[in-house]
Amino acid sequence: MKVTLPKGTKDILPDEMIGWRFVENTFYQICINSGYGEIRTPVFEYTNLFNRGVGDTTDIVQKEMYTFNDKGGRSLTLRPEGTAGVARSFIEKGMASLPQPVKLFYMITAYRYENVQKGRYREFNQLGAEIFGAAGPVADVEVISLLNNFFSKLGLDKLSLEINSIGCPGCRNAYNVKLKEYYSDRIDGMCADCKRRFDTNPLRLIDCKNESCIAASLDAPLMLDNLCGECASHFSGVKAGLDSLDIKYTVNPRIVRGLDYYTKTVFEFVSENVGTQGTVCGGGRYDGLVESLGGSGTPGIGFSLGVERLFMELESNNIITGDKLVPEIYFVTIGEKAYAYARKLSCALRRAGVYTEMDLLGRSVKAQMKDADRKNARYVLVVGDDEIRQNKAQIKIMETGELKDVSLDSIYKRILEKKVQVV
């Protein structure tokens, strides 16, 4: 039997994992520095969480969820995104009674049954953060500045930020009436998805990527021109906050997040090598979410970022090139006694935080040297019985080929003092 990966999934192999760790560690550090706490929620939740929390009318719920009954007959779904589970936890764990706001971040896998293509998988990774309990535009600015810090720490300055406001239920309802009026004599020429959305979620018609739908939407009224006073001043506050941090953005009145619970600010970070998978990160305000899941009315704002798409961007900018880790010291040993001695030294170095290598296959000295070379070790320390007796060994600086005598004792002492510079 030939075993293969399920369609739309992938293995991340050790060389690639170095880049993944770099990205995750950078995100972790930026979130911690910004006062966010990490949260882990289950990979699966009861299906009704996503029906309500993501929204019945969205593509995710209608087409993309991995839903199954467990042996006890409960309907479960693999999380298609992170926000709903985090909001469920916020409510269930009583986080509304903690000092507000509550700032959380996560690094998760998510699952969607999609047409697999570059940048679009069925299991993929998201980094996300949410702020609950802060209604003002400063929270929107804080979330966006977190992302801005993250990208600049990664050395990525090629993503452009696009922002919009999709209003609140009050102004959006009135706007939906206008939209429906506009589309009523155009909807016949639009795609099947749009025909379906016309009644349930007309806002989505604006961002349909189908050519005839784009043409039909050219003169559609925009939410941005129809905001109520409060939503308009919130949006001005967000723009002013971004300006004061020198964060560049463009207002794109056609960004709509497909999710029912989104309100006011929506934003995306888009790759300049635009393709259909150009959106690296999407976020926005969701003042209606917690309440729609049965919690008390709590404003929220957050984002989620697709790690695979971020990697496409990092790789195309040569920021991640799949570098290998190289050992600091490779111990080449001659004989059992020397092996035991070097192993002790090697263990101590590893505890002190130094990457060391030793042979595990009983190789000859020549083969050990070859292995050290192949692994690009910085230093090779040759240890045999004589060296132990004389408490002296030769260390080879691989880059230059230079040989130096070092005292084994002193190496050991230096390790204990945590001075890892060997030569």
Which of 300, 306, 327, 384 is close enough to bind ligand ATP by CB under 6 A?
306
Instruction: Check if the beta carbon of residue 127 is closer than 8 Å to that of residue 304.
Output: yes
Which of 41, 126, 164, 368 is close enough to bind ligand ATP by CB under 6 A?
126
CB of 268 to ligand ATP, least distance (A): 7
Q: For residue 114, state whether it binds ligand ATP (rule: CB under 6 A).
A: yes
CB of 306 to ligand ATP, least distance (A): 2
Q: For residue 162, state whether it binds ligand ATP (rule: CB under 6 A).
A: no
How many Å apart are CA 93 and CA 20, to the nearest integer?
A: 31
- Piece in contact with ligand ATP (CB under 6 A), picked from 13-21, 133-141, 215-223, 277-285: 277-285
Q: Which residue's beta carbon is nearest to the bound ligand ATP?
A: 306
Closest CB to ligand ATP among 80 and 295?
A: 80
* Interface map 66-105 toward ligand ATP (x if CB under 6 A): ---------------x------------------------
Closest CB to ligand ATP among 126 and 368?
A: 126
Cα–chain-centroid distance for residue 256?
A: 21
CB of 74 to ligand ATP, least distance (A): 25
Closest CB to ligand ATP among 103 and 112?
A: 112
Q: For residue 121, state whether it binds ligand ATP (rule: CB under 6 A).
A: yes
CB of 126 to ligand ATP, least distance (A): 5
Q: For residue 327, state whether it binds ligand ATP (rule: CB under 6 A).
A: no
How many Å apart are CA 40 and CA 85, to the nearest integer?
A: 9
Q: For residue 150, state whether it binds ligand ATP (rule: CB under 6 A).
A: no
Which of 308, 313, 357, 371 is close enough to bind ligand ATP by CB under 6 A?
308
Closest CB to ligand ATP among 8 and 335?
A: 8
Closest CB to ligand ATP among 124 and 261?
A: 124
Footprint of ligand ATP (CB under 6 A)? 81, 112, 114, 119-121, 124, 126, 277, 279-282, 304, 306, 308-309
